[in-house]
């Protein structure tokens, strides 16, 4: 009996003590002292308002391309291609030219109310017909204003007015780890929304594009190409262009063209129909810690000059093999990949200052940037 009474008193006292404590609320929980390296409260973003506002400016692009094969073998009615007799007839019937059509899908977005829009060059390159479909189901035939293969940017134009447009942001202000959103037509599923974060900035891929890509983990698949990448303010900071994949589908590595690069290309395409880029005429390589120590550098920062093309702007400026370019016209070169986009974005004929490291000491050189052409390739 005594044990029962004691237990009852203990429960009664605990209940009274709890009465004086206010109930826990989300705000109270978030007021706990933060633990370094651990977030005490988590609020995920709501993208719905962004999609409602910016979504109508995103379009679906379908193309038709006519392909001509000069060595095509004529089809024999009623005879499948895998029939053994097919190979027999090939010995006696000469090949003949044949045309056929291929279709592809992509995405794009309006940058002006009068119908100019951006997409990827690989979406519309060599297309004989381009159709743009809006979210309200209207369809337009688009004209290709210009295509720039190096940056993979294309400008299209439709006949329209008062069209919905996107707001252009500054990818330079984007931070690794922040949320981003993609809208496009993966596998033809129009106006699909996917989200993720920025994984890295300034990625240079091994394709001589001179584009400092934004790397994200936003799910991107065939059909998303040319669609916009938004920040949380609803501004476009990139054009979704590529994925790294072993299967042909999304595997967590997506790449977007920074919108400032794309807009610069678009302005040149609209004005002259072509894009002009700067060139120094050097081959560069990454500076490793061992190489940095051998050059008496305190850290491996800069672009190591591997070769200098004879007669190039770099040669006329006095650049030498073994120089480490640390600054280009006031811009610091942290990695070798930082240099090509800076040079390419400089108008040919511009006089620039180079800060290089040579023989254990800094040196300043002046160079006049040349024009980048396909032959010879250079930076």
The one catalytic residue in 62, 107, 185, 225 is 225
* β-strands 167-168, 235-243 pairing: parallel
The catalytic residue among 122, 217, 260, 345 is 122
If DSSP codes are grouped into helix, strand and coil, which group holds residue 228? strand
Residue count (the chain):
379
122 as an active site residue: the answer is: yes
User: What letters, b where the CB count within 10 A reaches 16 and e where it falls short, cover 36-68?
Assistant: eeeeeeeeeeebeebbeebbbbbbbbbbebeee
Tally of CB atoms within 10 A around 316:
14
Q: Is 171 exposed, middle or buried (0-12, 13-18, 19+ CB in 10 A)?
A: buried
Clarify whether 152 is annotated catalytic: yes
C-alpha radius of gyration, the chain, whole number: 29
DSSP 208: S
Q: State the Cα–Cα distance between residues 107 and 85, nearest whole angstrom.
A: 44
- Selected catalytic residue, list 107, 148, 152, 210: 152
117 with 106: CB under 8 angstroms? no
Q: Each residue of 142-168: b (16+ CB within 10 Å) or e?
A: bebebbbebbbbbbbbbebeebbbbee
- How far, in Å, CA of 339 to CA of 257, rounded? 17
**Residues known to be catalytic:** 122, 152, 225
């Amino acid at each position: 009996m005594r044990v029962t009474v004691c237990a009852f008193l203990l429960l009664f006292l605990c209940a009274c003590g709890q009465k004086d404590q206010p109930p826990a609320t989300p705000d109270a929980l978030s007021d706990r002292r933060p633990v370094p390296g651990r977030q005490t409260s988590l609020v995920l973003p709501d993208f719905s308002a962004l999609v409602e506002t910016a979504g109508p400016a995103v379009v679906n692009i379908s193309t038709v391309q006519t392909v001509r094969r000069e060595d095509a073998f004529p089809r024999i009615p009623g005879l499948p291609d895998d029939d053994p007799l097919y190979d027999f007839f090939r010995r006696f019937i000469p090949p003949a030219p044949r045309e056929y059509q291929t279709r592809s899908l992509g995405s794009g977005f309006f940058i002006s109310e009068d119908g100019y829009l951006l997409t990827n060059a690989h979406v519309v390159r060599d297309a004989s017909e381009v159709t743009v479909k809006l979210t309200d189901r209207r369809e337009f035939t688009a004209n290709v204003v210009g295509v720039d293969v190096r940056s993979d940017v294309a400008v299209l134009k439709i006949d329209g007015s008062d069209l919905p447009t996107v707001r252009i942001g500054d990818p330079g202000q984007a931070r690794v780890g922040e949320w981003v959103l993609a809208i496009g037509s993966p596998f033809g599923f129009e106006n699909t929304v996917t989200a993720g974060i920025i994984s890295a900035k300034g990625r240079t891929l091994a394709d001589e594009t001179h584009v400092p890509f934004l790397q994200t983990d936003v799910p991107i698949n065939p059909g998303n190409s040319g669609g916009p990448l938004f920040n949380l303010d609803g501004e476009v900071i990139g054009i979704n262009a590529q994925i790294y994949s072993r299967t042909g589908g999304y595997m967590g590595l997506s790449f977007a063209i920074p919108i400032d690069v794309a807009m610069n290309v678009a302005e040149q395409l609209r004005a002259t129909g072509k894009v002009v880029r700067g060139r120094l005429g050097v081959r560069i390589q990454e500076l490793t810690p061992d190489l940095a120590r051998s050059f008496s550098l305190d850290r491996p920062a800069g672009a190591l000059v591997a070769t200098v093309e004879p007669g190039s702007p770099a040669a006329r400026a006095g650049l030498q093999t073994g120089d480490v370019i640390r600054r280009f016209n006031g811009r610091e070169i942290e990695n070798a990949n930082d240099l090509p986009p800076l040079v390419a974005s400089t108008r040919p004929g511009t006089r620039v200052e180079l800060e290089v490291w040579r023989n254990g000491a800094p040196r300043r050189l002046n160079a006049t940037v040349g024009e980048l052409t396909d032959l010879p390739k250079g930076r």
